[in-house]
Structure formats: structure tokens, C-alpha cells
Structure 1
Amino acid sequence: MYIKLFLRLTLAIGFLSAIADRFGMWSQEKSAWGNWDNFLEYTQLLNPWFPDAVINPIAIAVTIAELLLAIFLIIGFKTTFVAKLSGVILLTFALAMTISTGIKAPLDYSVFTAAAAAFGLSLIKEKFFEIDTLIHTEKQ
């Protein structure tokens, strides 16, 4: 049960850390992007087939998705579905990184590992400190 909570929290914190980075909340020495403009450049690098006009909307959508996934993972809302969706997003990101920049970056940043952790989380059926437990109890 503690493993499930650990997986939920670490995945959520990973999403929140990435969001904080793109808004300059980490120091420049510890930052991957450091600001929104650098994040947009990286988004363009990973999505070269999209026109420049849609890069900002894609970056906004991904940021909102990561924020919602993080919140839902923390509170344990629809954990199985959210974990699968997190795995899909992380795997998509890892594959885009691999295609655009090579295999080293997604391996160094453990993006494949995070995707695997998310998919693994989706397989744990026991509920532990999850709002889903309260929702399920109210329906009975």
C-alpha cells in the first residue's frame, strides 16, 4: 500500500517540478528550461511536424494536463485511469525525445522509467489514502 502512495506522490511531484521549471521557479543552475520561452523552443524541437502557430497551445495544453494529473495523483482521484493517462503522456514524451534528440536524454531523465512506474501504478487495485475510497463508500 505504501508503494502505491509513493508512486502516486513521486509521479505527481515530477509533473509539478517540470511545471515549476518552465515558469522559472527553479534556479538557473538546476533548471532544464528556466522559462516559458525556452520550454516553447523545446516543445518545437520535440514536435517539428507541427507549425509554429500551434506550439504555444500545445505547450499550454500539456502544462494543464500535467497539473491536473499531478493533482489527481496526489488526492487519489480515478487513480487507475489517471495513472494510465500519465503513462501514455510520459511514454509519448519519451518517444518524442528519442526521435528528436536521440535515446540518451530520455534515459538520463528516466522518462521511460517514469512511464513504466505510471503503468505499474495503474495495476495496483488496493486503495490507500485515495479520495476514490470516499467516493466509492458514498455510492454504496
Structure 2
Amino acid sequence: MKNSFKIAQLLLRFSLGISFLTPVSDRLGFLGPMGNKNIEWGNWNNFIDYTATLMPFLSRPVVNVMGIMATIAEVIIGILLIIGFKTRYAALASCMLTLTFIVCMSLFLGVKAPINFSTFTVCSASLLLSAVPGYKWSIDDLSDDASK
């Protein structure tokens, strides 16, 4: 089957990857302090405070671990999507991670929170990306070419 998604999948990979790496940069303080325009957290403590609101059933030490795990997952998923390595698995992981965010945000902050963060869009776009038949201009594509 002809892959007619060449440009669309590339743009989707990049936009999803950047959508994971930008909030990580924010929570690590790379984009500036809290209070600056378009800065959500500005530092790790503010991010963990926010994470605690999404998981009020967990103790603070467990929330810290969950924040670390989410951050590591977001960095890995973001990089894998941008370079196009194990793209289908990264897209599925993106979908599952953002679905988890949607559930927690909806339950503890209301449904407007995941809408404001475009979490529904990222989740759906990730699922769509996982169904694309091939990933042109990716490491996956290079390794497929090498195996032919």
C-alpha cells in the first residue's frame, strides 16, 4: 500500500515530540521562572505541587517518584518521536501516558483542564500516528531500507 502520509506523519511526529519536551523544559526551569509569559511551572517544586493535585490519593514522596517517572517517560517519548525510532511504540506510549493524564486531570481538576492543555488532542493524534503504515524520514525508515 502506498504511504500517502509522508509529510503529515513527519509533522505529527515533530509536533508531538515537541509537545512532550516543552513542558519538561518548563518544569526544569529552562524556559524561565514562574510568572513569565507562557510559563506554567517554572521549576520542579511547582510541577510537583501540580502533580500532587492530580494524585491527591498519593503521599508526597510517591508523588515525587511519579513526577520523575512521568518526566523521564515524556523525554524518552519526545525524543523517540522526533528521531522516528520505534515510532509506533512511542506513539502508543504517548497515547497511554496522555490518557492517564486525561483521567487524573478530569477527575481532580475537571474536564476543562485536559482541554486547556490539549491533552485530548495529543492522545488522539498519538493513536492516529501509531496507525500510520510507515514513517518516512525516520530511523525506522532507514532500518527498514537496510533490511530490504
Instruction: Quickly name the TM-score band, shorter chain normalised.
Output: over 0.9
Unmatched 5+ stretches in structure 2: 1-5
Whole-Å separation in 2 of the counterparts to 1:94 and 1:35: 22
Give the AA of the match of 1:88: M
Shift in Å, 1:136: 2.6
Which residue is 1:83 aligned to?
Answer: 91
Cα-to-partner distance string for 1:19-62 (whole Å, 9 max, x where unaligned): 01101222422111111000000111101111111111111111
The answer to whether 1:72 aligns with 2:80 is yes
Out of 124, 134, 138, the position equivalent to 1:126 is: 134
Q: Percent identity?
A: 39
Aligned CA RMSD, in angstroms, stands at 1.2
Shifted more, 111-120 versus 47-56: the winner is: 47-56
The answer to whether 1:117 aligns with 2:122 is no
Whole-Å separation in 1 of the counterparts to 2:64 and 2:70: 10
**Matches for 1:23-102 after TM superposition, within 5 Å:** 23-27=28-32, 28-102=36-110
Unmatched 5+ stretches in structure 1: none
Whole-Å separation in 2 of the counterparts to 1:75 and 1:114: 18
Shifted more, 116-125 versus 23-32: the winner is: 23-32
When normalised by structure 1's length, the TM-score is 0.94
Whole-Å separation in 2 of the counterparts to 1:127 and 1:96: 31
**Matches for 1:8-19 after TM superposition, within 5 Å:** 8-19=13-24
Shift in Å, 1:109: 1.8
Shift in Å, 1:126: 2.1
Flag the structure with higher helix content: 1
